[in-house]
A and B are shown apart, each in its own frame.
Chain A
Amino acid sequence: MDILNKISEHLQLGDDEKVRIFTKEAIKAKISPKEILNNGLIFGMDIIGKKYKAHEIFLPDVLLAAKAMYAGMDLLRPMFIKGGIPTIGKVVIGTVQGDLHDIGKNLVGIMLKGAGFEVIDLGNDVSPSEFIEIAKKEDASVIGMSALLTTTMPFMKIVIDLLKEERLIGKIKTIIGGAPVTEEFAREIGADAFGYDSINAIEKVKGLTGMT
């Protein structure tokens, strides 16, 4: 088994220690960091995503794999010029204003990172203007909003309305999610996508960023 396969296999097992060891070996073997990232780490995470979707593994397995991925990425980070891991897109995420429930949003953040996105997590109780400002400042291509309360869901529409006002619709895409949020609501408020769980959210974000 070549080193990249080993990285992918151990990542799928959630073994961060082994991923660290084989990533070091790959670096030593002069495999380019981009290849290690794409054909080792992200390749392994893609398989994990598919297995989770097919009910073959559970959420903790996915999170352990993501943790193992970070272990490899930490070693690769200094090797990239300009000090950053190349990403497949930048996503700003947060729980909307008035809402402190961030478990689902955190999961989406972990999964997005695992899929190779750069994630700027604004935390919870995030005002509509903060979503817009940070997305603009960071040149993010997607804003992800989460809500658990029906009373805070209208803030999602405010964010989208602000994007319209600033003529950013189309440039910055939006995805929403959370227990009371539905596909229908997403359509009503003009969101670009709706994710019903973390894996689905990643698929949708990939769609929004032209990855699929």
Chain B
Amino acid sequence: MRPVLRFLSDELIEKIVGEAREILCKLGVEIHNKDILFMLGEHGAKVEMDRYHVFLTDEIIESALKAVPKSFKLYDVLGNETHHFSDYNVYFTPGSAALNILDYETNEIRKPKTTDYVRYVKVVSQLDNIASQSTAFIPADVCEKISDSYRLYLSFLYCEKPVVTGTFTMEAFNIMKEFQVIIRGSKEELKSKPLTIFSCCPTSPIKWSNVTSQNVVDCANFSIPVEFVSMPLSGFMAPVTLVGTLIQHTAETLSGVVISQFTNPGTPILYGGSPAIFDVRYETTPMGAVETMMIDCAYNEIGKYLGMPTQGYISLSDSKQLDAQAGLESGVGATLAALCGINNISGPGMLDFESCQSLEKLVLDNEICGMTIHLLKGIEPKEDFPSLPRFQELLKEQHLLISEHTRRYLNEEFYFPGVVIDRASRTRWQEEGSITLLERAHGEVERIIKNYVSSRLQDDTKKELTKLMTEEAHLYGMRNLPEHE
């Protein structure tokens, strides 16, 4: 039996959704995009164009909820299915999009470069428990105007896994979409085999900027899946209570569902978010706070109740180092998220309030993800009844280390983590050099990078992507792209 954790009763979910719908209809939503306002107006919403305000109707919300797909699949660059966002299926994705990385050599948090990004992609391509890549951080050695598309370009070049990404500008969407059309061969093929998910973020409270709302529309027009990342801050830009925060999150996310489904009914979406409590002591937004995790798990229940697959920024840490706090917050988050069935769990590798990626943390988190995925298998009998023969064998042989039963189920019943997790006896650990977690993790990063095998994406396709990226760089005044092998 798969273990499932719940925080909300159906009755409470209905009340929360009811309140959110009332907010959208009576207080409305601010959308700084006249085309969208016009579109919603045409469907019966009351629009106040001068203050970018629209009052939705129950019919509009209902119609959007009816159109939204209950599940969808993702495919890698080669066209192989990698994800089925449905029911309680769980997949892990590195946290994104950090401004910094934690440098192992100097132990300093610094701006990343292209070489750092390539190292990251090579690592994530080989982590078994992390199903997709994300454009996890922003290389600072290219001009800002291409920093979003450039990340995606490097990801496609070096790793086969599908990508969770996003645009920083409206202009960048085109090239980011074109990369995908090139890889798939046509718009139709891209529609039938989605390759990316774009994160689209409303602004609290209950607002959409021109850029992000246009991203939702652009993605919908090409049936590119989006994840809505609503970020209410409890006690600051949202009510202090978790239920109050959930009402706001529901309103903000439902408004995104409406924009998406009225642009193109059936566009795949993830009911996602990155809410947090606001720590009034430090003026920070702790992602590792247990209340933040509770909000994440709970909105996921609301998303499921409304019939949508879900996403969450959880299983990450606010610590600045790969320390006990980093393990604690990431481990608790991953476990809660998985038990609640958040379909796309975004977080591994991330530190410092979603602002810093660490490759060493990423390989550690890969083990957390592995253990968590194993946990979800629950406890099932495997030739355990009747048990008498097994115990007769045990009493006769005095151990079951090489019994048929052990050999058949050992690797299925146990999860054996890699060398990052220390399970040696103290003496053996000492004999092997008393290597710390950080050192083991770094060793693993270097081993993985050394073992990297090139993506099997066709060379011609890679060349085409490079041509497109180079032209885009020229457009914004960059003569050459940085070297990356």
Contacts and interface: CB of A to CB of B under 8 A. Distances in A.
A13 interface: no
B402 A197 contact: no
A106 B399 CA distance: 9
Interface string B430-466: 0100000000000000000000000000000000000
Interface in A55-75: 55, 58-60, 63-64, 67
Interface residues of B, number: 13
B425 A196 contact: yes
A196 B428 contact: yes
B419 interface: yes
Nearest to A177: B427
Nearest to B423: A55
Contacts of B431: 196, 200
Contacts of B398: 102-103, 106
A59 B401 CA distance: 8
Interface in A68-110: 102-103, 106
B342 to A, nearest CB: 33
B427 to A, nearest CB: 4
A60 B419 contact: no
B428 A60 contact: no
A194 B430 CA distance: 14
A197 B431 CA distance: 12
Given A55-B419, A103-B399, A106-B398, A60 B406 contact: yes
A196 B427 contact: yes
A183 B419 contact: no
A64 B402 CA distance: 6
A58 B414 CA distance: 12
Interface in A95-136: 102-103, 106
B410 interface: yes
A58 B402 CA distance: 11
B427 A60 contact: no
Contacts of B416: 58
B26 interface: no
A150 interface: no
A183 B427 contact: yes
Contacts of A103: 398-399
Contacts of B428: 196-197, 200
A64 B410 CA distance: 14
Nearest to B402: A63
Nearest to A64: B402
A182 B410 contact: no
Nearest to B397: A106
A136 B405 CA distance: 41
B322 to A, nearest CB: 22
Interface in B388-422: 398-399, 401-402, 406-407, 410, 416, 419
A182 B427 contact: yes
A209 B410 CA distance: 36
Contacts of B427: 182-183, 194, 196, 200
A196 B426 CA distance: 9
B425 A60 contact: no
Contacts of A63: 401-402
Interface string B81-99: 0000000000000000000
A133 B100 CA distance: 69
A63 B397 CA distance: 13
A112 to B, nearest CB: 16
Most interface-central of A60, A194, A200 (chain B CB within 10 A): A60
Contacts of B402: 14, 60, 63-64, 67
Contacts of A64: 402, 407
A103 B397 CA distance: 11
A150 to B, nearest CB: 16
A151 to B, nearest CB: 21
Contacts of B399: 103, 106
A103 B398 CA distance: 8
A53 B339 CA distance: 36
A197 B406 contact: no
A183 B428 CA distance: 11
Contacts of A102: 398
A27 to B, nearest CB: 26
Contacts of B419: 55
Interface string B277-295: 0000000000000000000
B274 to A, nearest CB: 38
Interface in A4-41: 14
B401 to A, nearest CB: 5
A60 B410 CA distance: 9
A60 B408 CA distance: 11
B466 to A, nearest CB: 39
A105 to B, nearest CB: 11
Contacts of B407: 60, 64
A183 B427 CA distance: 8
A197 B425 contact: yes
A200 B419 CA distance: 19
Contacts of A14: 402
Question: Lowest 3 CB-CB distances: which A-B pairs, in order?
Answer: A196-B427, A63-B402, A196-B425
8 contacts: A58-B416, A60-B401, A103-B398, A196-B425, A196-B427, A196-B428, A196-B431, A197-B428
Interface of A: 14, 55, 58-60, 63-64, 67, 102-103, 106, 182-183, 194, 196-197, 200
Given A58-B416, A63-B402, A200-B428, 14 more contacts: A59-B401, A60-B401, A64-B407, A67-B402, A102-B398, A106-B398, A106-B399, A182-B427, A183-B427, A196-B427, A196-B428, A197-B425, A197-B428, A200-B431
